[in-house]
Amino acid sequence: MDGEEGGSVKRYREWLDHNELELALDELEVLAEVNAVQRAFWESMLSAADEMKLTDHAKRYRAKMAD
């Protein structure tokens, strides 16, 4: 489902196809902002951010889980 803020599953897949993992993560984050997601989603995002050493992303995801 496309998000109102411009995120799309199609672009997410394109980022993956080009091995642009940080951009793929960003695309999922935009989609999650406008669609209902469960805590498990943010836990998975946090795990991915930690694996990629994306500390700013990880901080945002921890904050989402604290809400």
pLDDT in tens, 1-52: 444 556 788 999 999 999 999 999 999 999 998 888 999 999 999 999 999 9
Task: Report residue 9 as tokens.
Answer: 């599953």
Distance CA 53, CA 4 (A): 28
State the pTM of this model.
0.85
Angle at 17 between CA 5 and CA 29, to 5 degrees: 30
CA 5 vs. chain centroid, Å, equals 13
Encoded amino acid at 43, one letter? E
Task: Please give the single-letter amino acid code of residue 59.
Answer: K
The helix or strand, by DSSP H or E, that contains position 59, with its residue range, turns out to be: helix 55-66
